Structure formats: structure tokens, C-alpha cells
Structure 1
Amino acid sequence: MTQRHYAQPEGRKARILLVDDHAVVRFGIAQLINRQPDMEVCGEEADAGAAFSAAERLKPDLVIADLSLKESSGLELVRNLKARFPSMPILVLSVHDESVYAEMAFRAGAMGYLMKDQALEKVLEAVRRLLNGSVYVSDAMAVKLLQKQLQKQPLPGASPADLLSDRELEVFELIGHWKTTRQIAQELHLSVKTVEYYREQIKRKLGLKNAVELVQHATAWVERTSSGVPPETGPS
């Protein structure tokens, strides 16, 4: 099957789909984009299911998506969009620490990652870069990615983001938000047994002895990543 080419013809505005569960965020970004002569917002959605349907219907040139959506995973949306529209660029816009989540987003299929506190300043640059077939990430994150590529191994003081798979890290984060196994299963569309398996894998990889230590470390890790403090790994 021939992939769709997403570079817009000369004279036509690039059409962008916004996916974020905060209306005020969508409004601010839409206002900024719609003032540009070469791009416009063609649709806005607040959850993954509606966003995927909108992408099917609207065929946007680019999607801007948050990782935290109503009762759904932004990473899962990125994976699904990439599988359905392989050549459509996706820019992740998120409050989540890029040192933890940018690599996950890229592995899922995104071509750019932008922190929300830089959105108004950098989003137009990021969008244009993706539309031109390039990628976007902050300078600091680019250095980290290059270091890891050169070393071919986790950096010293590896955090859970370095030790866990993408799905394990999603489960670990939800544990840190005090979600039950059943709630995690519902949010990630997994079986309870599968979540229990991931919990055991996480404990093994992080050297945690029991469920209490798992919750304690997950909670502490979520607090650190939310506050911008470099996350730590499991007990030594």
C-alpha cells in the first residue's frame, strides 16, 4: 500500500489535529496555530478514541497529542496512529519529564516531544520541523539521546525509565498514582493477570521485595518526576 505523503502542496495550509484533555490548552495552541499563514487546526479532541476517529475522518497533516488523556493512554494513541498512518508526523506535547518519556514517545512512533512549559515558545518551530520531515526534541534531550546511543547501555544511576520496558513503566507510573491492579488493567486495556505479571517483572528488575516496596518506590518516583528532581532507581 502506498503511504500518504504529508507534505502539503504549496499554497495549502497544513491541517493539524489537537488532542489534549484540557480545553484551555487546546484553545491556546489553536489560537497560536490559526494565526499562522501556513497552518490551521482542523480538529480538537480530548480522548484517544475520539482522536483516532477524527484522524480517520479528517486526515490531518500532523497530530499534536498529550500523553495524559481521559481514561486512556496517549502513548497507546501514538502507537495506533503510527500503525494506521505510518507517514503522518506526531508531536507529543506533555507535562511529563522529557528525560523519562521522550524516548518512550519516539519508540511509540512520535517524531517530536515538547514540554508544555515550552509550548507557546516552541510549538510552531516543532510543528514546522516535523512537517519538513525532521524530528524535534530539546537540546538537552538530544545530548542525552546521543550519549546513550554512543554508550549502547543505560547511563550511570539508571532510573526505572532505563530499566523497564515502555509498558512496565506505564504500569509503574500508575502504581505511583495509587491505582489498583484492576484500575490499571482498565486504563491500559489489559487483563488483570497481565498487570499482575508486569508488577512481578517490575519488582524483579528494580530489586523490590514486595508490593509495599513497589508502591513506595513508584509513589516516590512519580513525585520526583513531577517535581523535576532526577528520578532514582530501586534499592541498592
Structure 2
Amino acid sequence: MTRILLAEDQSLVMQGLKMMIETDDDLRVTGEASDGEIAIKLCEEQWFDVAILDIRMPKIDGLEVAKIIRERWPEMKVLMLTTFNDDEYALEALRIGAHGYMLKDADAEWLIKSIKSCLAGGLQIQGEVAAKVVPRLLHKQKRETSGLNDLLTPREIDILRRIGEGKSNKEIAQDLALSVGTVKNHISGLLDKLELRDRTQLAIYAIRNQIV
């Protein structure tokens, strides 16, 4: 069973999201928080596999809660949720290390898919948000392609490209006819070579350097 923390300050929205999530038998909302302080306290008291955080909450906002979770409980996955289709929020969420960014008007199928994708190591950004965020990432300063080829092996670039596409380790392994363990080893090597913290930063790096 996947244990989920749901942090949302509007009670009706909270219950609606909970009902959608729990239409999947493997997913359970085991913690509910109406503000950021409660969300952090719940994380201190029990373990969650995924934290779904509203961007705008009382006391401590969702971005700050996400930052605290990524620092204190790095194995916990974080999905950001908002009504605001704002690329600045999405960019900041990705900088912090969130594993996905969704709008509150997402349907149950997309919500469940996003949760399962991030658990499998993917990066989920809802289409409307991605349409704004990706072009901005592409226009950021990037390394020269020749330098990247000197730094990474062709296999590492293949894997990095698929991470940028949001694929899980299992999907990458299937694409490249590798074992999941080999893919994990390559990802560890990529993190070391590129001096990045986690898979989300690898995905952003791949997009920023036009590897995808």
C-alpha cells in the first residue's frame, strides 16, 4: 500500500482529491493537513511514500514544505498541486526537487498516473504547465554539446535523454535492453559526473541541454 500525505487548505477540495486517489486500491491517504505546519508535523510522526502539497497554504506554503521534505526526508516523493497555471511556481517546484506538478482540475486518471509515475522514478508535469516551463528551460544557458560528449558516454546520454522524457528505470531498461540494476548504476554515475542531487535535477539538465 502506498501511504500518501495530502496537504490542502480547502476541505471540499481535500475530500474530492482523497476520493479520486482512493479509487485505486493500492493508494491510501493516511495523513491530511490543512496547512504547512501540520504537514511537517505529520511527516515527523509517520512515514509517507508521497506528499501531495497545495502550493498556497496557511502558515507555511507548499513550496517551503516541499523544500523541508526534500532536505529531511529525501526518499519521500513530492507532487505539487495548484489552481495556478503559473510557470514561476512550476520552475521553483522543480528547483526544489519536486517530482511532479499538477493543476487541481486534473482528473482522477491523471492524478493516479502522476502518483505512480513519480513512485517509479518518473517526472510528471501536466501538459498546460509543461508548455510554459519547457521553453523557458530550453532558453537557459547550456553547455556546449561537444563538451557534454566529452563528459558522458553514449550510453549515459541515452539514459539521460530518457530521464528527461520522464521515463522510469524499468522503461529505460526495456528501451535499452539493460537490467534495472544497470540503469540505476548509470544514473548514480550521472549524478556524480554532473554534480547533481537527484533524478529531477537530471531531467531538468537533459531538457536544458537539449538532450531530449
Mark yes or no: TM-score above 0.5: yes
Taking the TM superposition and a 5 Å limit, the aligned residue runs for 1:52-67 are: 52-67=40-55
Task: Give the partner amino acid of 1:80.
Answer: I
Contact 2:21 2:108 in 1 (8 A): no
Say if 2:58 is the partner of 1:70: yes
Q: Structure 1 residue 33 and structure 2 residue 15: aligned?
A: no
Distance in 2, matches of 1:45 and 1:75, equals 15
Q: Structure 1 unaligned runs (5+)?
A: 1-12, 154-236
Q: How many residues were matched structurally?
A: 141
Amino acid at match of 2:121: G
Matched residue, 1:92: 80
CA distance in 2: counterparts of 1:148 and 1:23, whole angstroms? 34
Q: By how many angstroms is 1:143 displaced? A: 4.5
The reply on whether 1:102 has 2:101 as its aligned counterpart is no
8 Å contact from structure 1 (residues 65, 91) kept in 2: yes
- Give the aligned partner of residue 112 of structure 1: 100
> Contact conserved, 1:65 with 1:93, CA < 8 A, in 2?
yes
Q: Which residue of 1 aligns with 2:5?
A: 17
Superposition CA RMSD, Å: 1.7
In 2, the alpha carbon distance for the partners of 1:49 and 1:75 equals 12
Residue number among 130, 139, 151 corresponding to 1:151 in the alignment = 139
Gaps of 5+ in 2: 142-212
Give the 3 Å change call, closer, same or farther, for CA 128–31 of structure 1 in structure 2. Answer: same
- After TM superposition, the score normalised by the length of structure 2 is 0.62
CA separation of 1:138 and 1:69: change in aligned 2, threshold 3 A: same
TM-score by length of 1: 0.56
Residue by residue over 1:89-141, the C-alpha shift from the partner in whole angstroms, topping out at 9 and shown as x without a partner, is 10011112242311111112211000111254521111111111111002343
Secondary structure of residue in 1 paired with 2:105: helix
The percent of aligned pairs where both chains have the same amino acid is: 31
**Deviation at residue 20 of structure 1 after TM alignment:** 0.5
Q: Which residue in the other structure is 2:34 paired with?
A: 46
Task: Indicate conservation of the 8 Å contact 1:93/1:119, yes or no.
Answer: no
Provide the residue aligned with 2:117 in structure 1.
129
